[in-house]
A and B are shown apart, each in its own frame.
Chain A
Amino acid sequence: MSAAPDIVIVGAGIVGAACARECARAGLRVLVLDRGPVGGGTTAAGMGHIVVMDDSPAQFALTAFSRRLWQELAPELPAAVEYDPCGTLWVAADEPEMAEVHRKAAFYRERGVRVEVLEGDDVAAAEPALRPGMAGGLRVVDDAVVYPPAAAQHLLESQENARRIEVRPGVTVAALNEDGGVTLADGTRVSAGVAVNAAGPWSPLLAPGLPVRKRKGHLVITDRHPGFVHHQIVELGYLKSAHAVTADSVAFNIQPRKTGQMLIGSSRQFGAEGTEINAEILDRMLRRAFEYLPGLGRLSAIRAWAGHRAATPDKLPLIGPSLASDRIWLATGHEGLGITTSLATGRLLADQVLGRAPAIPVEPYLPARLGKGDTPHA
């Protein structure tokens, strides 16, 4: 790249990649720096479920918009991205959970999200491996699955303006500067109009005081057992939990991959900084999965690992200028939904950088909402 880039993005995860793509599409010259390979951080540790969620109106708006962007992108995705519109099946174990199915169904239908309510027998027919006696379920038809590292790679190199993006893997950034540039670990300064912190769970290291905390999650991948499950299946049982935000928790979540493998989650822990496997959490997580899928225990497990989500106090990401400087921007804090919401994040970031009208209201995601040095985490 000859002249200084318009924008330098720290982090070549899916979020940094999506931001780079949108900025380049709008004609900006983009430099992307990562200490590792493309998509080698949390993007390589997560599940890749593209899912509409409704914990809050703002979460729904962002996930629904972003999922639409994924659907638009789908036809051009190469096979390596493993895009699979398998849909989500939320399973209800009992009547109270079935009530939640109906609530969710009504909420989604009103907003144009395609869903189907399944009775117990329909669930058994749709997923014969589930234990018998499920009360029912909700199929969210257009939810999908991707392989995130390949998706990040595609976002960086695919569109017509890809040549405006320079990616430098293997470069560690020490600081984002108030003049819009960055300082590398070796002391080199790189100047740019705007610097974006898209460093995922490591973003607070480059932005002291940022209210982003690591939330650890474990996953297990199986060998190829094609046809064992057909949807990404997730339990609704978590509703019974009272103190969801603070305690370590596990939930049943299984994802069929196009390879015939399955990815099994999930767990959430605060205060666990390392990526080593916690045997007790893994144990609880798998027991939960076996309760739902009694045959799962006989299948072959290849590898278990853990990664960190970048969690914010209100469970919404930070997209926009930081409070530190109007030339240091944030695109982080995507918790367990960063694959889903990456495309929307890229769009909203580019809209703001360019002063365009945002595609959806951006206020809920502005860093300013949390105030400076805000640490109201429980």
Chain B
Amino acid sequence: MNSARLSFDLVVVGAGPGGLAAASVAAERGGSVALLDNSPWLGGQIWRGEQARSAVPLARQWIERFLASGARAVMQASVFASPDRGVLLAETPAARLTVRFKKLILATGARELFLPFPGWTLPGVVGPGGLQAMVKAGWPVAGRRVVVAGSGPLLVAVADGLRRYGARIPLIAEQAPQLRLARFAAGLWRYPDKLAQAVAMKARLLGIPYRAGVWLRRAEGGERVERVVLTDGRRSWTVECDLLACGWNLVPNTELPRLLGCALASGFVRVDEFQRSSVEGVFCVGELTGIAGADAALVQGQIAGLAAVGETEAAREWFAERSRWHRFGAALTRAFALRPELRQLAKRETVVCRCEDVSREAVERCRDAREAKLHTRCGMGPCQGRICGAATQFLFGWESDSIRPPVFPVRMESLLTASEHPKPVSNLSDPTS
């Protein structure tokens, strides 16, 4: 396998809004900057695929700014380990990269929260954001009926996007109660750009059936999802569909910062006013530090990018705007808080760990995530607890198990770190373990 060594003043991981902004402002001020992302596209989750089409002005603006900034993009590079201070290892389809940095900005974003319910393992049950990303990359939805369910402003945005690709949306089912959403929407005048996004009002404008206070009970079908059963707590009904897009807000991708030793607070990376984590020289921005959307990530990215190149005064100028988005994030979290009924969706025999097919019944007998892992294999599979760990955190309040390299599964040979001319292996002792 090929291996390459790269070295930069600043390395940014994650090419979403947070990472793009950080890399751009830092590179504009000189110094060598690299932006690594595991997908083939700039833009992260929200702007995925915008590089080619540029339908979103803000996305186009930032991607163009990044491309002109002099920063280097390293795509399809999964960062999976940090064998030493100032060194990251990344894997691309063709090579293993050793990337040295003086400063590091992590912008690894968030994934969707998936909650187990009967039928959630059927093919055709996908995350809304995930489906959106896949549709942009060619997944066919024209003429398909897609029920969108779960929670968060994402549902409406995704439903709208899917419709543009020809999908039919029988219903958006939002678990949060109507009253809470109305209060949230009433506060949105403070965030003009946000008005156009999100929630019921927007859905109505778009003409998509939208119901708040409605949640999934189960999905049914043979080899793929064919219908879903929904409830408003009083009655249940069935909706036929070809795809079910469901997700319940976002979970930050803290694996890499945790591997590097960054301290967390309530599940997010703890940062100071300049987005500095507890680890010297390592900054964190975007969803890693709190769920507040792309605008917050852009501002935080600029603060971190400026601070990383020593422009702390320039960084300060963004503080006020950041506070505004933090307030927005807090309001968002309150509005879309998950209802306790969702903890009861999974039945005893419902699979909780999809990699290893472990049922709720087996997992529930354990006291914590570590015991569940050791005695049921829950979290032992290739996703390393990314899906089931977030679910058991919601279901049982469990903290996830320790993080170990590789952060993502990689080819064995990618774990080699020493020079291409290793010292002879001389001292072999007892070969058994």
Q: Verify whether A and B have any Cβ pair under 8 Å.
A: yes
Pairwise interchain contact A251-B411, C-beta atoms closer than 8 A: no
The minimal Cβ–Cβ distance linking A300 to chain B, given in whole angstroms, is 5
Pairwise interchain contact B406-A40, C-beta atoms closer than 8 A: no
B424, closest chain A residue (CB): A284
Pairwise interchain contact A301-B375, C-beta atoms closer than 8 A: no
Confirm or deny: B371 has a beta carbon within 8 angstroms of a beta carbon on chain A. Answer: yes
- With contacts A149-B375, A220-B415, A299-B412 taken as known, whether A235 is within 8 angstroms of B367 at the C-beta atoms is no
Q: Quick one: which of B391-433 are within 8 Å of A by CB?
A: 404-406, 409-418, 422-423, 425-433
The minimal Cβ–Cβ distance linking A18 to chain B, given in whole angstroms, is 17
User: How big is chain A's contact interface, by range?
Assistant: 35 or more
- With contacts A150-B375, A302-B384 taken as known, whether A53 is within 8 angstroms of B417 at the C-beta atoms is no
Pairwise interchain contact A277-B404, C-beta atoms closer than 8 A: yes
Interface string of A271-307 (1 = CB under 8 A from B): 0000001011011101110100000111111111100
Pairwise interchain contact A336-B433, C-beta atoms closer than 8 A: yes
Pairwise interchain contact B367-A37, C-beta atoms closer than 8 A: yes
Confirm or deny: B370 has a beta carbon within 8 angstroms of a beta carbon on chain A. Answer: yes
Pairwise interchain contact B370-A251, C-beta atoms closer than 8 A: no
B interface: dominant SS: loop
A241: B residues at CB distance < 8 A = 426-429
The minimal Cβ–Cβ distance linking A58 to chain B, given in whole angstroms, is 15
Q: Quick one: which of B366-395 are within 8 Å of A by CB?
A: 366-368, 370-371, 374-375, 381-382, 384
B374: A residues at CB distance < 8 A = 37-40, 44, 149
- In the bound assembly, the distance between CA atoms of A281 and B412 in angstroms comes to 14
- In the bound assembly, the distance between CA atoms of A21 and B39 in angstroms comes to 52
Interface string of A297-325 (1 = CB under 8 A from B): 11111111100000000000000000000
- With contacts A149-B375, A283-B415, A301-B409 taken as known, whether A244 is within 8 angstroms of B370 at the C-beta atoms is no
- In the bound assembly, the distance between CA atoms of A259 and B282 in angstroms comes to 38
Pairwise interchain contact A304-B428, C-beta atoms closer than 8 A: no
- In the bound assembly, the distance between CA atoms of A37 and B411 in angstroms comes to 32
B433: A residues at CB distance < 8 A = 46-47, 49, 217, 219, 253, 265-266, 336
Confirm or deny: A337 has a beta carbon within 8 angstroms of a beta carbon on chain B. Answer: yes
Pairwise interchain contact B428-A240, C-beta atoms closer than 8 A: yes
Confirm or deny: A248 has a beta carbon within 8 angstroms of a beta carbon on chain B. Answer: yes
- In the bound assembly, the distance between CA atoms of A252 and B432 in angstroms comes to 9
- In the bound assembly, the distance between CA atoms of A245 and B429 in angstroms comes to 7
Confirm or deny: B1 has a beta carbon within 8 angstroms of a beta carbon on chain A. Answer: yes
Confirm or deny: A185 has a beta carbon within 8 angstroms of a beta carbon on chain B. Answer: no
A240: B residues at CB distance < 8 A = 428
User: A249 touches which one: B370, B416, B427 (CB < 8 A)?
Assistant: B427
Interface string of A319-349 (1 = CB under 8 A from B): 0000000000000000011000000000000
Confirm or deny: A243 has a beta carbon within 8 angstroms of a beta carbon on chain B. Answer: yes
Confirm or deny: A237 has a beta carbon within 8 angstroms of a beta carbon on chain B. Answer: yes
Confirm or deny: B280 has a beta carbon within 8 angstroms of a beta carbon on chain A. Answer: no
Confirm or deny: A170 has a beta carbon within 8 angstroms of a beta carbon on chain B. Answer: yes
The minimal Cβ–Cβ distance linking A222 to chain B, given in whole angstroms, is 7
Confirm or deny: B161 has a beta carbon within 8 angstroms of a beta carbon on chain A. Answer: no
- With contacts A44-B374, A277-B405, A302-B384 taken as known, whether A266 is within 8 angstroms of B432 at the C-beta atoms is yes
Confirm or deny: A182 has a beta carbon within 8 angstroms of a beta carbon on chain B. Answer: no
Confirm or deny: A107 has a beta carbon within 8 angstroms of a beta carbon on chain B. Answer: no
The minimal Cβ–Cβ distance linking A65 to chain B, given in whole angstroms, is 17
Pairwise interchain contact B428-A283, C-beta atoms closer than 8 A: no
The minimal Cβ–Cβ distance linking B204 to chain A, given in whole angstroms, is 46
Pairwise interchain contact B367-A251, C-beta atoms closer than 8 A: no
User: B415 touches which one: A37, A49, A282 (CB < 8 A)?
Assistant: A282
- In the bound assembly, the distance between CA atoms of A303 and B406 in angstroms comes to 6
Pairwise interchain contact B432-A250, C-beta atoms closer than 8 A: no
- In the bound assembly, the distance between CA atoms of A185 and B406 in angstroms comes to 35
A219: B residues at CB distance < 8 A = 433
- In the bound assembly, the distance between CA atoms of A297 and B414 in angstroms comes to 8
Confirm or deny: A213 has a beta carbon within 8 angstroms of a beta carbon on chain B. Answer: no
* Between-chain CB contacts (< 8 Å), 18 pairs: A38-B375, A234-B431, A249-B428, A250-B425, A251-B428, A251-B430, A264-B412, A268-B429, A283-B417, A286-B416, A287-B416, A287-B425, A288-B425, A298-B412, A300-B409, A301-B410, A301-B415, A302-B384
> Which residues of B does A touch, CB under 8 Å?
1, 81, 83-84, 366-368, 370-371, 374-375, 381-382, 384, 404-406, 409-418, 422-423, 425-433
Apart from A251-B429, A302-B406, what 19 extra A-B contacts exist at CB < 8 Å? A37-B367, A37-B368, A37-B371, A38-B371, A40-B374, A44-B374, A170-B367, A237-B431, A238-B430, A249-B427, A250-B428, A279-B417, A282-B415, A283-B422, A287-B416, A287-B418, A298-B412, A303-B404, A303-B406
Pick the 9 closest A-B CB pairs, nearest first. Answer: A297-B413, A279-B83, A244-B429, A251-B431, A238-B428, A37-B371, A247-B427, A249-B429, A47-B433
